[in-house]
Structures are given as C-alpha cells and as structure tokens.
Amino acid sequence: MDSESGLPIEPVYGPGAPAGWDPAVALGEPGAFPYTRGVYPTMYTSRPWTMRQYAGFGTAAESNRRYHQLIEAGTAGLSVAFDLPTQMGYDSDAKMAYGEVGKVGVAIDSIEDMRVLFDGIPLDQVSTSMTINAPAAVLLLLYQLVAEEQGVAGDKLTGTIQNDILKEYIARGTYIFPPKPSLRMVADTFRYCRDEIPRWNTISISGYHMAEAGATPVQEIAFTLANAKEYVRAAVESGLDVDSFAPRLSFFFVARTTLLEEVAKFRAARRIWAHIMRDEFGAKNPKSQMLRFHTQTAGVQLTAQQPEVNMVRVAIQALGAVLGGTQSLHTNSYDEAIALPTEKAARLALRTQQVIANESDLTRTVDPFAGSYAVESMTDDIEEATRALIGRVEEFGGAVNAIEKGFQKAEIERSAYRTALEIDNAERVVVGVNKFRTDADEPYEPLRVDPAIGEAQAAKLAKLREERDGAEVRRRLDELRALAEKEGAQAEGGDVSAGHANLLYPLREALRARATVGEVCDALRDVWGVYVPPDAY
C-alpha cells in the first residue's frame, strides 16, 4: 500500500535502499544476527504484534467476564493478573491473605477457580500470559489440567509464565523461597515444558518491575540480561542443552515516554543478548539468540492528577514499543493510577493499539528508525553502558551473588531517589503534577472490589477440603516434599529428562488431587524455608 500522497512505502530500507543495499553493514538485516533491526525479517509488515490486555480482579467469575469482553473487543491474547495471596503462595483463608483477596488481581486457590477463570474460553485458540513468579509452576500446571479437561493437549497450548524469581529479590518482593531452590524450580519448569508443553514460553525475564522501582533504561536491561544469564547457567548446569530450552525464553520490558531512548534500549538489548547467547553459551540455533519481548507501557509514569492526560502518555509509550520492535504489547488504562481499570478505560487502552496498527503507517515497513543518526548513536551508548553494568554484576560472581549482597537493589534505589528529587524540584516536568496544574480534577468513580470476596473464597475452600479425598492429598504432598528434599535434578541420577527428579510431576498430581495453591507452597516451605533479604549493599 502506498502512502497517503500516493508514494511507495518499501518494506525494508537501508543504505542504497530499496534496491542493492549491503546487508554486511554494521546494522545487518532484520531477522538476522545480531537482530538489532528486529527478530523477524518482515516484522509487522506480515502481522502486527500481539495485543494483550493485563486483567484480573476479584473472583475468577468476575475476571472471566472481563476476559470475554476483551476478546469481543478484539484482543489477541489474555494476560492474567493474580492477587497478592496467590502471588505469595497463600490460600484466600490464610491469615496472611486478610484484606488482600482479589485486590490487585484474581484470587486462585485451586483447580476449581482455574476452571471458572477460563470457562468458555478455548485454550487451544488463545495465548495466555500469566504474571506469576514464585508459584509460577503451580499456576501453569493448573492451567494445563484445565486444558486437559477441555480436551486440549499440552502441545496445543501457547502462552507465557513470568517465572522470573530473581527480579523479585531485586525490585518487587513477591518471593517465597531462597534463590537456590527457586532456580531449581525454574530449571525444572524449562525441562517440563520442553517435554509436555513445547510451545509454551517458560519464562518472561523482566525488567519492567525494576523500571517501576526506579531503574534507568540502562539498569533495566543490564540487570535483566544478567538475571537471564543466571537462568541459562542454572538450566545448563542441571543437564539441559542450551538450544533445547533457550528458544522459549522471552523478556518483558517497560516503554516510557522518552521515546527515542526507549527505541534505542530495545535495539541494544537485542544486540547484546544475541552476542551473549552465541559467544558465551555457544547457542547455535538462531531462535536461541533472539531476544523476543513483551512490553507494557509505564504504569509508574501515570498520574492520579488529570488522569485523562495519561491517554497521551500511553499512546507515546506504545509508539516507543512498536518502533522498538516488540512482539506483544499491553497498554495501560488511563485510570490505573487511581484504581483497577474500568471496562471503558480498558477498552480504550486496547483501541490505542488498534489505531496504531490499523491507522498509522508503522506496520508497512520494517524498522523505520534504522540509520537514524540519533537513534543509532544512542543505541551504541546504551550498549556500552549496559555491558559495563553487566560486568559489575559478573564481578560478584553473577546475579544471585550480587542479589545476596544487595547490589542491584541499592543501585535502583539510588536512581529512584535521584528521579524523585528532580520531580520535587521541578527539574523533571510531570504535566499536571509539578507543572500545568489545575485547581480541581473532574470527579471519577473508580472500580471497587467487594471486600466480601475473601469470605466467599474461604467458604469455597472449606467445601473443597470437605469433599476431596484428604488421604490422597496428604500422600501427594508427602511425595512432593520427599522430592524437594533431594538436591535437584541430578540427585537421583539416571534419565532426568524422563521426569524422575522433576518437581513438576508430583506437583501436578497434588493439584490434580485438588490440593490448593497454599498447600503445595507450604509443602515446599517446609523443606526450603523462606527467603530473608540481606541488609542494603
């Protein structure tokens, strides 16, 4: 399709474009090592990015209704938000869960909640992303069990679990177990999905939450890639060949309003990761060298003051993600700084992506910023600074050792403090907060979660425990504890690929017997304990 002026738009531009340009130039070709210009040769000219909307609140039934609304509005992928008790591996009737059930996501206590969550949604036709970390394997297995009940085999399931525990120690805090057993669970999940759910993305290594905590773009990708190296090492040390799992690794980054720097950040991240995988880990499969990533617009930059202005922020952030070559995108709702998004706000956020994909010309050419003096120079600068910061992490012996010393957390906190000072002193403008303010904002009615949800979930759990086979549940939990006490995937010797030492198999059978999320996590707490963070670096 030509431009609005009737002039041609070429699918790929470069030196001497459109014909005869030299693919040996430093940038390379789209879809070719080192993937600076994108991981696929055609990018959005053949199909747009996956449009996801992050949603989940209250009960499974309420969230299910929102998912059906989003699918009807045209979203191509679901993204599940879980409440804090679920993220921390507690049932809704636990003392630790009081007052938090259903507040920042959906409450999932057992397979029965998961059935309701995806009722009427064909799991062989949707791609589902689940923002879950410490109990990631638990929620993935519940999803697989529900799919089995629908008659959907594991090899038909597509989606992603976040499963990135290291960034929890750095920036977010919803960890359960210490790093070593947590990494074992990650490696076991890699192996399990390779054998049982081969199209599933086994981890979404996240810089988003570090950015929300105050990390700069360089810190975001440096600490994310350092964490990714730790996961790859753990998997390789457990006996996995790098090319058997690396193609299913994915990443999760933020998109800020500083559009040019964000585009450069994404380009630099792809280039660095390609070299890490090829040169440091010997990955030969090109898919192992590709940094595929999901993006979410920057929630931390949204304001409760003049919330409609957030629509502009989100549109700019979304453009940065698209111009940077994201594989999927969630656009925040303009009211998220106030409360859970309303249905209208969530639909408008999706419409923002649809306008970019269908009404702009960004999907007509691959990598429109290639060759930009500004962007290419910024990409080089970010790459150099990122490699230097990864080097500092490696001086500690890797991400886990640096986490235990409090290095990453302290670095991010310093950046966050500097940003806060700049905003307080009006050196960094935030429209509606420290400049261009109004005397009063228009009234806004937020979406509220019924506090009685906790009581209703507790009643469901009591009924579940009364009706299930308690002896079978206890036996399955004992099997899980027994395997957790062993020293990891190599402990029993023999063919680890057959699942003999993989924790996900006894975990799956416990969940099938209707053990709850809290019960299986408590069984692992009994063996591994809980993580206690160190003093600041």
**For range 99-124, the mean pLDDT:** 95
Instruction: Tell me the pLDDT band of 73, cut-offs 50, 70 and 90.
Output: confident
**For range 300-306, the mean pLDDT:** 95
pLDDT at 1: 61
Instruction: Tell me the pLDDT band of 442, cut-offs 50, 70 and 90.
Output: low
Scan for tokens 């952030």, then name that residue.
Answer: 317
Strands (E), 156-219: 158-161, 200-201, 203-206
User: Is the per-residue pLDDT at 530 higher than 70?
Assistant: yes
Question: pTM, whole model, 2 decimals?
Answer: 0.90
**For range 415-435, the mean pLDDT:** 96
pLDDT in tens, 257-297: 999 999 999 999 999 999 999 999 999 999 999 999 999 99
Instruction: Tell me the pLDDT band of 340, cut-offs 50, 70 and 90.
Output: confident
Reported as half-sphere exposure (CB side, CA atoms, 13 A), residue 384 has a value of: 6
User: Is the per-residue pLDDT at 4 higher than 90?
Assistant: no
User: Is the per-residue pLDDT at 254 higher than 50?
Assistant: yes
Instruction: Tell me the pLDDT band of 495, cut-offs 50, 70 and 90.
Output: very low
In this structure, are residues 444 and 335 in contact, taking their beta carbons and an 8 Å threshold? Answer: yes
User: Is the per-residue pLDDT at 537 higher than 50?
Assistant: no
Residue 441 vs residues 107, 314, 349: alpha-carbon distances, Å: 33, 19, 21
When the pLDDT of each residue in the chain is averaged and rounded to a whole number, the result is 91
Domains plus CATH for the chain?
43-424 (3.20.20.240)
Which tokens is 80 given? 């599940």
pLDDT at 441: 63
Q: What share of the chain is helix, strand, coil (3-state, %, to 5)?
A: 50, 10, 40
Scan for tokens 């440096």, then name that residue.
Answer: 222
Question: Residue 464, SS3?
Answer: helix
User: Is the per-residue pLDDT at 23 higher than 50?
Assistant: no
Question: Residue 104, SS3?
Answer: coil
pLDDT in tens, 365-413: 999 999 899 999 999 999 999 999 999 999 999 999 999 999 999 999 9
pLDDT at 8: 85
User: Is the per-residue pLDDT at 535 higher than 70?
Assistant: no
In this structure, are residues 431 and 306 in contact, taking their beta carbons and an 8 Å threshold? Answer: yes
Reported as half-sphere exposure (CB side, CA atoms, 13 A), residue 521 has a value of: 25
Instruction: Tell me the pLDDT band of 330, cut-offs 50, 70 and 90.
Output: very high
pLDDT in tens, 496-517: 344 458 999 999 999 999 999 9
Contacts of 439 (CB under 8 A, 6+ apart): none
Residue type, 400: V
